[in-house]
Structures are given as C-alpha cells and as structure tokens.
Amino acid sequence: MVTDKKYQHLISWNYTGTSFVVCNIAEFAREVLPAHFKHNNFSSFVRQLNMYGFHKVNKSPRGHRTVAENQVWEFSHQKFIRGRPDLLEEIKRKSMESETLRRETSDLHSHLAVMQVAQSDMIQQISHLQENFAEVMRELAETKRRQSMQQQLLKTLIGFMQTQNAQVLPPELNMDGIDAKSEPERPSIYITNADAS
C-alpha cells in the first residue's frame, strides 16, 4: 500500500523512511482502503494499526482542527522501515493475553484494596474486643478484691464481738457454738450402787 505509486499522493513514506504519512483521509478512505480491506472506514484502519503496535506521530498542535482534506496523519512502528521487508514478520498483532493480563491485574488490585479495607476493619474490631476483655478482667479483679476485703472485715468483726461478750452473739455468729454443735452429743452415764436395794 505504501509503495504503490498509484496512491503516492495519499500515502507514502516520510523522508527518513521510518514512518508513513496519510494525506486527505477522506479520499484515502474512499479510494485506498476498499482496495486492501473490507471497509472504507478510516477510524477502523487506525484501530487496526494500533492493534499491530503502530503509533500516531502527532504533528498538529493540541486542539488544532482542520478539514479532512487537509489533515495529515503519520504512523510509525520500530519494525516498519523502508527497505527492510525482513522486519515485517516481527510485526504481530497484540495478543489477547496481554489485554487479559491487564484486566486481571486491574481486578487483582481492586480485590486487594477491598481486602485491605476488610483487614483494617477486622483489626479494629479485634482491638475493641481486646479492650472490652481487659475491662472485664479489671472489673473481675476489683470484685474479687472487694469480696476478700469484706470477708476479712467480717472475720475481724466476729472475732472482736466474741472477745467482748460471746453470750450476746446470735447463734449464727457464735463461732464457739458452731464448733460445739459440730461435736456429737454424748449420752449421760449414771452409776448406781447394788446395795441400795
């Protein structure tokens, strides 16, 4: 296509032979594309070039627009060089594996971000649980301490009251009575004289 002299006014090599130039894209799409492709759509032609690794050389200032007849498009590929047909075999269509890998990588990054958020939430919940557990243990230790103090105070009070007057203590607080009750009551023994009869 580039070397066809019939279309040199529409497509040709640049001066250095490292890229090719398309002029008057409307006429190019109408006259050249149908002779080599099953369409006459210039946008589709550009997409196909991109699929094979060609890049547009942008010479127009950004935002500059011209009519289709005056537009000049230039494309280059490191393996598409004038006088080097031996390099054409190395120009291959971009594999779908690359696109699939790119999408999978993007999905992996998304999943990783979600997992990081979930992990952060889980760590925060574990931290709250640890704080709650520590608070419960502190309350339990305080309860045991108070219970021990109350038991000691009760023993001291009972001992003091016993030394003052054991008789006035109620049975449930009289430790001597408790100890006495714990021993079994022995039966009375009577000794009689046989001569008394």
Q: For residue 192, tell me if it sits in a domain.
A: no
84 is written with which tokens?
Answer: 């080097």
Q: What is the pLDDT of residues 50-102, one digit of tens each?
A: 888 888 887 654 444 555 556 788 999 989 989 898 888 888 887 665 666 66
pLDDT category of residue 132 using cuts at 50, 70 and 90: very high
Other CB atoms within a 10 A radius of the CB of residue 161 amount to: 16
Number of domains in the chain: 2
- Are 154 and 131 found together in one domain? yes
62 is written with which tokens?
Answer: 């950004």
The domain that contains 32 carries what CATH number? 1.10.10.10
Which residue matches tokens 């006035």? 168
pTM: 0.44
Q: Count of residues for the chain?
A: 197
pLDDT value of residue 195: 56
Structural domain of 80: 5-94
Distance CA 58, CA 12 (A): 17
Amino acid at 49: L
- Are 81 and 114 found together in one domain? no
131 is written with which tokens?
Answer: 């704080």
Cα torsion 166, 171, 175, 179: sign: positive
